[in-house]
Amino acid sequence: MTLSRRGFLGALGISALGVSSFGGALLPAGQTAQLLRSRARLPEPFTVPLTIPPPARQIATDHYEIVQRAESLEILPGLRTPVLTYDGHFPGPTVVSRRGRAITVTHRNELDVPTVVHLHGGHTPAESDGFPTDLLMPVSGAHQGHAMHGGGIIAHGTRDYVYPCDQPAATLWYHDHRMDFTGPQVYRGLAGFHLVHDDEEDALPLPKGERDLPLMITDRAFAEDGSLLYPSRGPEVPGVTEEYMEGVLGDVILVNGRPWPVLEVDAARYRLRLLNASNARRYRLTGLPFTQIGSDGGLLEHPVSLNEVLIAPGERVDVVADFSGLAAGTEVIVHNGLGSGTTAQVMKFRVTRRVQDDSRVPDVLTRFERLDPAKAVRTRDWRFGRGKHGGGDNHGWLVNDRPFDPYRADATVRLGEVEIWRFSTDLHHPVHVHLNPFQVVSSSRSEPPVGWKDTVNLGPAEHVEVAVRFTDHAGRFLVHCHNLEHEDMAMMASYDTV
Ligand code: C2O
Ligand code: CU
Ligand code: CU
């Protein structure tokens, strides 16, 4: 009952207005999701130092190896949290590559569940894109039964993912994409950064090196013993319990896997590569004057000054934060305008010393190719809404009224053609497209996002039109909601490029 009322309110856009109480149910502001509360002792905010994920392990030229294995990490001070990791780390190690220089990442699955690796934002051939049924089975041989499921290309123990990286410099990320289980597997730790650099970006006077920081923002909830809480319907049962099917929100904000961390910075400019890797939570980040320089697909044409950054699951916003005018000792707190209580703050920067800083943000960042909507060969509709799936009456999330079917292509697109894709929603859905980024050409929102996007934030009863052009790789790819609970409960569709 509560759920349908919540859905109804959401459809009216009421949940976007702020925290409101209706029939006893508390609606989290700007979210389509439910809060899961920690039972563990939580640290005081801004007491745990921020860390930066280590670089990926290189085993040969342009060849990296990542072992997926279970670990127990100290995330909350004094407690151990069992997690699924890429190479023992959460976030996983950062892969750094250069435009036009193909790399191979060999993944070895030492976990006890099948996995799938997807490079989000990567311009990647289908066989390495991580289609949800292209499973990498555990080395141990566990779960062989699943290999029958979905008709994917199954690998046993190890799999080579080949990334051409033939794309502009950008902040990408890799994460698990296993059909029906992406939510729990990403939540338990399977996510990392992949940064693409190029000569054009290197030539710009932007902050670099120690002052170029990837920041992965996630929310989690912890049990008393430090283990992660997640409302699965059962081990190896897809989806979450009824109460959480709109999405899972945690009450602890982690940046690079640290709860409300603090970072000491010079009085200088920093490039912050903000990634929202949360399952369902949106953030409105405030507290810093941000200059946005990049979006999902790379640099913007011109920098944009922002007082706040709205970021939905899957999105990246590259900003330059300017601490150069601040006195040593100044503390800057990044708040979350869409949170309340423990989730209203994210992290803190503490300025330690004055330094020489030659970086700046130039007026022109890149030569930007605008896709011309007038050249589009057709418009396709993709409607994201709740519906019947998997037993429960309303226990599913659908695209164009259909649940995901890995055997079915929902569209066929010719490589090289520009199309208009029209996304529309009932509630909040961050819509993500694989293979090529797109440009927003019209939107029911007053300030549509700029630049090359691969994920677009839609609120309740909104619509967005994007221009998209797929290139180079023929095969089957995905368009889906990046609320991972929605994704696992069938809110995906696929298209073939020919
Ligand atoms: Cu970030 Cu299809 O996923
Ligand atoms: Cu993706
Ligand atoms: Cu959704």
Q: Is the backbone of residue 138 left (phi > 0), alpha (psi -120 to 50) or beta?
A: beta
pLDDT at residue 2 above 60?
no
Instruction: Tell me if 194 CB under 6 Å of ligand 1.
Output: no
Instruction: Tell me if 429 CB under 6 Å of ligand 1.
Output: no
Q: Which of 466, 453, 443 is nearest to 376 (CA)?
A: 466
How does pLDDT run across 436-455, given as a tens digit for each residue? 999 999 998 878 899 999 99
Contact yes or no for 236/268 (Cβ under 8 A): no
Provide the 10 A C-beta neighbour count for residue 155. 18
- The tokens of 357 are what? 């800083």
Instruction: Tell me if 316 CB under 6 Å of ligand 1.
Output: no
49 against 20, higher pLDDT: 49
d(CA 414, CA 100): 23
For residues 101-118, give the mean pLDDT.
Answer: 98
pLDDT at residue 235 above 50?
yes
How does pLDDT run across 52-92, given as a tens digit for each residue? 999 999 999 999 999 999 999 999 999 999 999 999 999 99
468 alpha carbon – ligand 2 mean position (Å)? 15
d(CA 443, CA 449): 9
- The tokens of 311 are what? 């970021």
| Residues above pLDDT 90, as percent of the chain | 87
Instruction: Tell me if 177 CB under 6 Å of ligand 1.
Output: yes
Beta-carbon-side half-sphere exposure of residue 287 (alpha carbons within 13 Å): 18
What is the C-alpha R_g of the chain? 21
**Confidence at residue 34, expressed as pLDDT on a 0 to 100 scale:** 94
For residues 182-205, give the mean pLDDT.
Answer: 98
d(CA 134, CA 476): 12
pLDDT at residue 395 above 90?
no
d(CA 38, CA 408): 40
**Confidence at residue 391, expressed as pLDDT on a 0 to 100 scale:** 67
Which position has the token pair 């929202």? 276
Which ligand 1 atom is nearest residue 314's CA? 1
**Confidence at residue 394, expressed as pLDDT on a 0 to 100 scale:** 67
**466 has which bridge partners?**
421, 440
Q: Which of 202, 449, 423 is nearest to 316 (CA)?
A: 449
Nearest CA to ligand 1 atom 3: 120
- Residue 329 binned pLDDT confidence (cut-offs 50, 70, 90): very high
- Run of H or E including 2: helix 2-11
Instruction: Tell me if 314 CB under 6 Å of ligand 1.
Output: yes
pLDDT at residue 153 above 60?
yes
Map residue 3 onto helix, strand or coil: helix
The ligand with the least distance to the CA atom of 277 is 1
- Residue 16 binned pLDDT confidence (cut-offs 50, 70, 90): very low
Whether omega for the bond prior to residue 77 falls within 30 degrees of 0, making it cis, is no
454 alpha carbon – ligand 1 mean position (Å)? 9
Contact yes or no for 408/400 (Cβ under 8 A): no
d(CA 158, CA 108): 4
Provide the 10 A C-beta neighbour count for residue 334. 24
Instruction: Tell me if 178 CB under 6 Å of ligand 1.
Output: no
Judge residue 156's burial from the number of C-beta atoms within 10 Å of its C-beta, 0-12 exposed, 13-18 middle, 19 or more buried: middle
15 against 208, higher pLDDT: 208
Q: For the structural domain made of 34-366, what CATH number should be given? A: 2.60.40.420
354 alpha carbon – ligand 2 mean position (Å)? 40
175 alpha carbon – ligand 1 mean position (Å)? 7
Instruction: Tell me if 120 CB under 6 Å of ligand 1.
Output: yes
For residues 401-407, give the mean pLDDT.
Answer: 96
Segments of 287-395 assigned E as strands: 290-295, 298-306, 309-311, 316-322, 331-336, 345-354, 379-387
Provide the 10 A C-beta neighbour count for residue 201. 20
Instruction: Specify the amino acid at residue 129.
Output: D
149 against 229, higher pLDDT: 229
Which ligand 1 atom is nearest residue 492's CA? 2
Q: What are phi and psi of 365, to 5 degrees?
A: -100, -35
Q: What are phi and psi of 36, to 5 degrees?
A: -105, 130
Q: Which of 336, 366, 373 is nearest to 464 (CA)?
A: 373
Which ligand 1 atom is nearest residue 434's CA? 2
- Tell me whether strands 262-267 and 20-22 are parallel, antiparallel or unpaired: unpaired
Name residues with Cβ closer than 5 Å to ligand 2, which is an ion.
120, 434
Instruction: Tell me if 348 CB under 6 Å of ligand 1.
Output: no
- Run of H or E including 8: helix 2-11
pLDDT at residue 360 above 80?
yes
22 alpha carbon – ligand 1 mean position (Å)? 33
Contact yes or no for 318/274 (Cβ under 8 A): yes
- The tokens of 104 are what? 């191979």
Judge residue 352's burial from the number of C-beta atoms within 10 Å of its C-beta, 0-12 exposed, 13-18 middle, 19 or more buried: middle
d(CA 283, CA 267): 26
C-alpha separations of 437 from 124, 295, 471 in Å: 12, 10, 10
The model's pTM is 0.94
**Confidence at residue 149, expressed as pLDDT on a 0 to 100 scale:** 65
pLDDT at residue 249 above 90?
yes
Q: Would you say domain 373-497 falls under CATH 2.60.40.420?
A: yes
d(CA 307, CA 443): 21
Contact yes or no for 72/82 (Cβ under 8 A): yes
397 alpha carbon – ligand 3 mean position (Å)? 7
DSSP letters spanning 62-114: TEEEEEEEEEEE--STT--EEEEEETTBSSEEEEEEETT--EEEEEEE-SSS-
d(CA 494, CA 399): 10
**439 has which bridge partners?**
467
Contact yes or no for 395/246 (Cβ under 8 A): no
Instruction: Tell me if 211 CB under 6 Å of ligand 1.
Output: no
Contact yes or no for 183/248 (Cβ under 8 A): yes
119 alpha carbon – ligand 2 mean position (Å)? 6
Tell me where in the chain the CATH 2.60.40.420 domain(s) lie.
34-366, 373-497
138 alpha carbon – ligand 3 mean position (Å)? 29
For residues 277-302, give the mean pLDDT.
Answer: 97
**Confidence at residue 111, expressed as pLDDT on a 0 to 100 scale:** 98
251 alpha carbon – ligand 2 mean position (Å)? 26
Q: Which of 434, 437, 424 is nearest to 467 (CA)?
A: 437
d(CA 116, CA 114): 7
